[in-house]
Amino acid sequence: MTSENRVVISTFYRFLPLPDYRDLQQPLLQVCRAANVRGTILLAAEGINATIAGERAGVNRVLAHLRADPRLSDLAAKESFHDAIPFQRLKVRLKREIVALKAPDVDPTARAGTQVDAENWNRLIEQDDVILIDARNNYEVRMGSFPKALDPGTDSFHELPRFLADHLDPAQHKRIAMFCTGGIRCEKATALLLDWGFDEVYQLQGGILRYLERIAPAESLWHGECFVFDERVSLDQNLQKGSITICDDCKTPVSVGDETCPHCHSTNLL
């Protein structure tokens, strides 16, 4: 799909103090409804996290509303395109965290891992002394990842700290690089590692989505497809709807076109 397609899918987040986040909910909900935009927006005292979809003018209207707040004036968004809105409804929700690590003392606004842009990511992860960690859940990893990336085997993001504590030692592992879909999970997880005494911690700026947007398939080290949390389920190297879906019962990746899950034989496929 290209930008000529009618529907824009916009993904964005920002860690920042939002003590008045509850007051932002209703005005944002009204703007999204008026703009005929659907998707999910999470608001918390620690910031905002969202994926929304609609026609270009509607998405731009929502982003303009957010950027009118001086605290969000430079809010950056990643885009992909589809021929239909991949969400059934609009949700603007209040949360304790915009991504649930369940480690309340971690503050990515104070410090987080060094951002490495897509153009320099390959050079970093090909170095032998870099420990590469996929910060996503196990069903996401099974769809695709970078070579040699460690799979934490988690079902939920809040399980990641246990894996990191069990497998990493700041005295032994000097250089750590992490990646996730859009960057938000890595930003929080790298902040945790810095709190634990790790000195040289990196994260893929903009996540896998920004990497696929900027790196040509011939130069890409990415293998497979990228899971996304909407009705498209997966994206290929060109950020088009992929060839993999997922079993909604056991989370096993399934080829598009298959009628049953090869693992649990369920027909409940996304």
- Looking at residue 83, which CATH number applies to its domain? 3.30.70.100
Judge whether 38 and 53 are in contact, CB under 8 Å. yes
Q: Are residues 145 and 33 in the same domain?
A: no
Structure tokens at 132: 């590469």
Q: Are residues 163 and 233 in the same domain?
A: yes
pLDDT band at 4 (very low <50, low <70, confident <90, very high): low
Total of domains in the chain: 2
Q: Are residues 126 and 239 in the same domain?
A: yes
Judge whether 37 and 62 are in contact, CB under 8 Å. yes
DSSP single-letter state for residue 247? B
pTM given for the model: 0.90
Judge whether 13 and 184 are in contact, CB under 8 Å. yes
**What is the pLDDT averaged over residues 185-190?**
98
Q: What amino acid occupies position 139?
A: Y
Judge whether 18 and 44 are in contact, CB under 8 Å. yes
In a domain, 190, yes or no: yes
* Percent residues over pLDDT 90 in the chain: 87
pLDDT at 1: 43
Q: Are residues 111 and 81 in the same domain?
A: no
pLDDT at 44: 98
Among the listed residues 180, 186, 247, 261, the single catalytic one is 180
Q: Mark which of 71, 94, 117 sits at the end of a domain.
A: 94
Q: Mark which of 94, 113, 141 sits at the end of a domain.
A: 94
pLDDT at 229: 93
Q: Are residues 106 and 66 in the same domain?
A: no
Active site residue 261: no
**What is the pLDDT averaged over residues 202-221?**
96
76-110 confidence digits (pLDDT tens): 999 999 999 999 999 999 999 999 999 999 999 99
pLDDT at 133: 98
Domain assignment of residue 27, given as a range? 7-94
